[in-house]
Amino acid sequence: MADVVWLLQLNIYKTFSMKKIILALGLIVTAGVVHATVNTVNVADSTVRTVSGVGGYAEVVYKFAKGDKVTLTANASKELERIMIVLLPQNVLLRIKNTKKVTQTFDVPENGNVVIRFVSDRGGVNDIHYKIARLPASDDLQNFDTKADPASSTIKLHP
């Protein structure tokens, strides 16, 4: 409000009407409120186990909306050779190599199923605890169903 008084003291009120000043202040306040309505959605908090053997893998599939910002947090019992995140059919969004622990955020370029594949680098099994959260692109997508379409939920890439 002090800024408005200062503007009036400088006789700028001739250029800017009081209606325009109030409208501008209203837009600034409204912009902050609208942005605050989009909340992070927890998609998964689970554990998977790789199949036994070198190069054994486990994968999970979820559906995301265009513009989602997805965060994957994973902790493996043993080092993973890599983690691949693929938007089906074959759009590789992210590759992470030689890790036991990861927190990574990626953007989803279009609606579709996203496969997260954990590939083990050692014999035996590897247990991976993972969490997935998404920040929707808009308030309209807050309740987007992340259950994958079963007909297109397999990846056709070499592990």
> Residues 94, 73: contact at Cβ < 8 Å?
no
Residue-wise pLDDT for 123-140, tens only, equals 788 999 999 999 999 999
Q: Which domain holds residue 20?
A: 2-35
In a domain, 49, yes or no: yes
Q: 63-109 pLDDT, tens per residue?
A: 999 999 999 999 999 999 999 999 999 999 999 999 999 999 999 99
Write down the pLDDT at residue 121.
79
Kindly report the CATH number assigned to the domain that includes residue 53. Answer: 2.60.120.680
Same domain, 126 and 104: yes
48, 118: one domain: yes
Residues 62 and 115 reside in one and the same domain: yes
- Tell me the pLDDT tens digit for each residue of 32-44: 544 447 899 999 9
In this structure, are 12 and 87 located in the same domain?
no
Same domain as 97, residue 27: no
Residues 25 and 47 in one domain: no
* Domain contains 159: no
pTM of structure: 0.72
Query: What is the Cβ-side half-sphere exposure of residue 75, based on CA atoms within 13 angstroms?
Result: 4
Longest dimension (CA), the chain: 79
